Amino acid sequence: MSRQCEVCGKKPQFGNNVSHSNNVTKRRWNPNIQRVRALVGGAPKRLRVCTSCIQAGKVLKAV
* pLDDT attached to residue 49: 96
| Span 41-61, pLDDT tens digits | 889 999 999 999 999 999 999
Q: What is the mean pLDDT of residues 22-35?
A: 97
Q: Model-level pTM? A: 0.80
Residue 6: how many CA atoms within 13 Å on its side-chain side? 13
| Span 1-27, pLDDT tens digits | 689 999 999 999 999 999 999 999 999
- Alpha carbon distance 18, 27 (integer Å): 10
